[in-house]
Amino acid sequence: MLFFSFFKTLVDQEVVVELKNDIEIKGTLQSVDQFLNLKLDNISCDDETKYPHLSTVRNIFIRGSTVRYVYLNKNMVDTNLLQDATRREAMSEKK
Amino acid sequence: MSFFGKRSRGGAKGRHPQQQQGGGAGAGAGGEPLDFEETYRGYGDYGQEDGDYLNDETFGDNAELGNDFDFGHGVQQQEAVPQPPQQQPHVSYVQAAQSGIHTAQMDTSADLKPMASLWSTGPPAVQQPHILSMEEIERQQRQMQQQGFMQAPPPPPPIHPMTPQGYPVPPSDAPYQGFMQGPPPPPPATAPNAPTAPNMQQFAPNVQYGMPGQQGAYPPAFNQGAFPGMYQASSPAPVQPQGAPDRGELQSELQPQPQSQSQSQSPQPEREQRLASGQPAQLRTRLQQQQQQQRREPLSPEEQQRLQVRHAKVEKILKHAGLMTPRDKDFITRYQLSQIVTEDPYDEDFYFQVYKIIQRGGVVGESNKGLIARAYLEHSGHRLGGRYKRADIALQRMQNQVEKAVTVAKERPQKNKNKLEEEASGAGGREGVLGKVSTAMNSKTPRRQLQIPLANLRSNSEIEASELEASAKVPTPGALEEVTQSLDNVEISQKSRVRRRSSYAFSSVDHNSVLGRSGGRKFVLSLIETVYEEVLELEANLRSGKETNNQKLWDALHVNDDVYEVCPFVSMLTFDKGVKIMPRIFNFLDKQQKLKSLQMFFSELSHLNIIIISSYKTNPTPSDAQLKKIDLFQTVFLKIIVSFLSSSSNFIEIMGLLLHLIKNNNVSFISTSKIGLNLITVLISRAALIRQDTNRSNVLSSPEISTWNEIYDKLFTAMESKIVAVFPPAEYTDRVVHAAGSTAPTKYYDQAYIWQFLASLALSGKLNHQRIIIDEVRDEIFGTINAAEEMREQAKNTQGAPADDLLYRRDKLYQDLNLFLNVMGLIARDGEIAELK
């Protein structure tokens, strides 16, 4: 649940999602679910010439399994808190 | 008819207001009582006025009642044909509705036939002879729309999902069958604790069969030919259209089609095109056109266009309307929610929960469930409040759902346990409804990329032993030091031995030698993790209001541990994470424990990695990362010490700490590091403050004062003749300024901390001490004054911001210098030192 919990805090923030087929889509994260499926709004694609079909799309649903990376702004992450959360996760697994 | 619970309302026949007869006032005319669930979302109303939903907007106010319109689902074949348009004006709404039910019942019977294409892998069997493929229907529709949307068959029923009867129900499906005969379940909204969830589970098989039916409602672009049964089901089979000469041809054309339906493209597109645009549609439209023109004024082209647009919109809305009942939606929602919600959000959703609290500034506004409900409403595309935009009710409802979902979530582990049995009895099929749900792997325990075998996690003592072994084998500086020490240590006292050790320690910035003597790097790191775990647990207890016992934490800190040469507690401060956790540790320690750990800290200051890093002697070229480390230590740990000293320590304790520092460390070395100098400053200035303070209220006892003088003498002796060493050389300061780079706000080395130290040293000392200090740092004093005057000269020759900056720096230099000079009643101003008046 850690990653789900983490991505929930990114809702309404702008992220860049790189898919496993190398497409990079920038957009505002609308929602995320437990499978880390993502909903993006106001999307834009850097390489318009390569993927012209995306130029008319405004929002998009991305299946979580097709995501390679999600690029985020550094200050969207509370690293200390994330460390704590990770430790808690590890602790709960040990139990 | 419906997927989940809906059927139960109408009994086995499955009368559903929307699905039975799209245009019919099915439920309303039938006089069937509406339950809360229906009225709530506006579905009750919807059912009643379904037929003329938005009709006035769509067709103008002058449309006659009973004049029903097709919204383009190719069902015109169904409706237009059995009820020729001529009859329409005379049919009352109720009649139409009832006849609708009639047709629907017929449909059900038609549905009884299983769809071979769905259940076999081979090519689908030939269906009844006169099927239109979806492509055909689609084309006809488009054609008609282009011709101005003139026809008036009753609105189509949304495509029938497969009736359960249409499919072979597995014999093991007993609960489901039984349920259908049973009484309808109470609606969830009125009875939140009613056993709805279990009911839903029983419906699971039904759901599975229902799903393929849903596909029939996909836009025709999907998979057209694959489900001929859909349309066949909704169009009464045996009626042949009159006056449609091409129809027969069309059908004969279509007959072989099912066989090739697996290929989504028709083999003869041109021909189909011709057929589709051919007679039947045109003919019928013409008829309807005539009919309509009798009734209403001809529409202007603009109006027609407007209507077309509107029609397209309505069609879009109605396309999938009523496919799922509110109850179905609730079920899905609840199921999805049950994957998300947890009983203990702090436990399983820690990051999100705490992050939100931090973001909101520590205010916990809503309950967790309310938050989930709201978030889910906002992001799930649920219409807020349905037709009436009653967001509050919707939220309330969603909260109910969350509540129930929590219950479902609680049941989950148990269910997994019982899963095998359930499957055996045929009732465990729900898992598959919304995708594959594996018991071993789900969103909570996803598949791991890294599998770390637990066997490799040796116990601490083992690690420790191997570390010691390794350090003995490898000739590290630490081991080397042991050797040199044992060579000539016979006569050196304990104190000098410690000094010696520390003098060796600072010959290397590499902290491994120190770590090696406190149990090894791995040991220290694992200690830090243990400490984190303890702190997290204590914090969790504190939050939930439980009792906190810090004994385990205290043990984990190893403050009193004499086993290691260097205290593990001090070694923990080698790592950033060890430094960062300190404030949180101190939250849980009592005063004695704090004092004890600080005593240990000051005793072993020489082993502190940060001192070695921040001393210009041992680390003349600090890296960027090291400077950051120094900064972190300064802001985090120094703060703890200052707050401890200023809030809860008395004079004797401070003296004790200072004594620990002087006795066990090479003070002159420590004073070459910024951190070390700061630490000494903090101690002596706090002591000086207490002395001044108590001078007024209650006087310190004479033994206290004499002890203090003794300690101060010791400190001064240790520093004497090396006081000037507190000033780092120019190369070092240049290097630091350079490494800080553009991120630093100032472009020069701030020496304020040095003058602060000298000021507090002078403040506590007697006149002869002060004289010695001035003697030793005289060059620095005049150097600073010269530098300041130089800046003024430069400022005269420059203009604007640089000049201001120079003047500011000049003032700053004087300010810092005067910190020290003022203590002795002197002041430096405009290049001269004068007496303070």
Write out the residues of chain B at the interface with chain A, using a CB-CB cutoff of 8 A.
336, 339-340, 342, 347-356, 358, 375, 379-380, 443-444, 529, 532-533, 536-537, 577, 580
Contact yes or no for B821/B833 (Cβ under 8 A):
yes
Give how far A34 is from chain B: nearest CA, Å. Answer: 6
Q: Which of A35, A85, A89 sits opposite B443 (nearest CB)?
A: A35
Contacts with B188 (C-beta within 8 Å, 6 or more apart), sequence order: B37, B194, B196, B327, B330, B400, B404
| Site from B351, B436, B528 to mutate, A interface, most A CB atoms within 10 angstroms | B351
Residues from chain B that touch A9, judged by Cβ atoms under 8 A, are: 351-352, 355-356
Q: How many residues does chain A have?
A: 95
Q: What is the 3-state secondary structure (H, E, C) of B274-310?
A: HHHCCHHHHHHHHHHHHHHHHHCCCCCHHHHHHHHHH
**DSSP letters for B346-379:** HHHSHHHHHHHHHHTTS---S-HHHHHHHHHHHH
- What pLDDT does B516 receive? 67
Neighbouring C-alpha atoms within 13 Å toward the C-beta of B365: 9
Whether B536 sits inside 8 A of A5 (CB atoms) is no
ipTM of the complex: 0.88
Whether A87 sits inside 8 A of B529 (CB atoms) is yes
Helix then strand then coil, in percent of chain A rounded to 5, is 35, 35, 35
Number of inter-chain CB pairs under 8 A, A vs B: 68
Sheet-wide strand order for A67-71: A60-62, A38-45, A24-32, A14-19, A67-71
Residues from chain A that touch B556, judged by Cβ atoms under 8 A, are: none
Q: Which of B348, B380, B536 sits opposite A1 (nearest CB)?
A: B348
- What pLDDT does B220 receive? 42
What is the CA angle B148-B149-B155, rounded to 5?
180
**Inter-CA distances, B417 with B103, B280, B412, B426, B819, Å:** 46, 60, 9, 15, 74
> Cβ of B419: how many Cβ atoms within 10 Å?
14
Residues from chain B that touch A39, judged by Cβ atoms under 8 A, are: 379
Residues from chain B that touch A64, judged by Cβ atoms under 8 A, are: none
> For A38-52, B294-308, B390-404, B639-653, which range has the lowest pLDDT when averaged over its residues?
B390-404
Closest residue on chain A to B436 (Cα)? A35
B425-431 own/partner pairs: CB under 8 Å, 24+ apart? B425/B172, B426/B170, B426/B172, B426/B173, B426/B174, B426/B175, B426/B205, B427/B175, B427/B201, B427/B202, B427/B204, B428/B204, B429/B204, B429/B205, B429/B208, B430/B200, B430/B201, B430/B203, B430/B204, B430/B207, B431/B204
Structural element, H or E, at residue B833: strand B832-835
pLDDT at B391 over 60: yes
Whether A80 sits inside 8 A of B533 (CB atoms) is no
A66 touches chain B (CB under 8 A): no
pLDDT at B60 over 90: no
- What pLDDT does B417 receive? 44
A2 touches chain B (CB under 8 A): yes
| Site from A4, A12, A67 to mutate, B interface, most B CB atoms within 10 angstroms | A4
- What pLDDT does B34 receive? 55
| Site from B332, B336, B340, B350 to mutate, A interface, most A CB atoms within 10 angstroms | B350
- What pLDDT does B432 receive? 52
Residues from chain A that touch B444, judged by Cβ atoms under 8 A, are: 1, 34
Q: Which of B347, B351, B580 sits opposite A9 (nearest CB)?
A: B351
Greatest Cα pair distance, chain B, in angstroms, is 126
**Rounded (10°) angle between helices B174-181 and B204-215:** 90
Closest residue on chain B to A93 (Cα)? B445
Strand partners, A40: A29, A60
Contact yes or no for B289/B126 (Cβ under 8 A):
no
CA distance B606 to B305: 87
> For B207-211, B428-432, B758-762, which range has the lowest pLDDT when averaged over its residues?
B207-211
Whether A81 sits inside 8 A of B444 (CB atoms) is no
A34 touches chain B (CB under 8 A): yes
pLDDT at B706 over 70: yes
Helix (H, G, I), strand (E, B) or coil at B407: helix
The stretch B663-682 carries a mean pLDDT of: 87
Fold designation for A1-94: SH3 type barrels. (2.30.30)
Burial level of B76, CB count in 10 A (0-12/13-18/19+)? buried
**Mean pLDDT, all residues of chain B:** 65
Whether A5 sits inside 8 A of B347 (CB atoms) is no
Percent of chain B scoring above 70 in pLDDT:
45
CA distance A34 to B17: 35
Contact yes or no for B385/B393 (Cβ under 8 A):
yes
Contact yes or no for B232/B251 (Cβ under 8 A):
no
Whether A33 sits inside 8 A of B444 (CB atoms) is no
> Cβ of B632: how many Cβ atoms within 10 Å?
14
pTM surpassing 0.80? Answer: no
Closest residue on chain A to B345 (Cα)? A5
Residues from chain A that touch B336, judged by Cβ atoms under 8 A, are: 33
Residues from chain A that touch B350, judged by Cβ atoms under 8 A, are: 5, 84-85, 88-89
pLDDT at B187 over 80: no
In one-letter notation, the amino acid at residue B448 is R
What DSSP state is assigned to residue B549?
A: -
CA distance B306 to B149: 11
Residues from chain B that touch A33, judged by Cβ atoms under 8 A, are: 336, 339-340
Helix then strand then coil, in percent of chain B rounded to 5, is 65, 0, 35
Whether B340 sits inside 8 A of A33 (CB atoms) is yes
Give how far A39 is from chain B: nearest CA, Å. Answer: 9
User: CA B562 from chain center: how many Å?
Assistant: 44
Give how far A49 is from chain B: nearest CA, Å. Answer: 26
Q: Which of A1, A39, A87 sits opposite B444 (nearest CB)?
A: A1
Which of the listed ranges B135-144, B292-301, B657-666 does the model predict with the highest average pLDDT? B657-666
> For B67-71, B104-108, B386-390, B535-539, which range has the lowest pLDDT when averaged over its residues?
B104-108
Whether A9 sits inside 8 A of B339 (CB atoms) is no
Give how far B226 is from chain A: nearest CA, Å. Answer: 26
Whether A80 sits inside 8 A of B580 (CB atoms) is yes
Closest residue on chain B to A31 (Cα)? B379
Residue B373: pLDDT band (50, 70, 90) is low
Tens place of pLDDT per residue across chain A (95 aa): 788 889 989 988 999 999 999 999 999 999 888 889 999 999 998 888 888 888 888 999 999 999 999 999 999 999 889 998 999 888 877 76
CA distance B130 to B240: 9
Q: Which of A4, A87, A89 sits opposite B532 (nearest CB)?
A: A87
Contact yes or no for B818/B828 (Cβ under 8 A):
yes
| Site from A72, A80, A88, A94 to mutate, B interface, most B CB atoms within 10 angstroms | A88
A57 touches chain B (CB under 8 A): no
Higher pLDDT, B142 or B49: B142
CA distance B91 to A2: 62
Whether B536 sits inside 8 A of A91 (CB atoms) is yes
Model confidence pLDDT, tens digit, residues B305-331: 999 999 998 888 888 887 888 888 878
Task: Check the CA dihedral B541-B547-B553-B555 and report its sign.
Answer: negative
Contact yes or no for B756/B822 (Cβ under 8 A):
no
Tell me the two tokens of residue B163. Answer: 């009736």
Contact yes or no for B117/B227 (Cβ under 8 A):
yes
CA-closest candidate to residue B758, choices B691, B830, B816, B687: B816
> Cβ of B406: how many Cβ atoms within 10 Å?
18
CA distance B220 to B223: 7
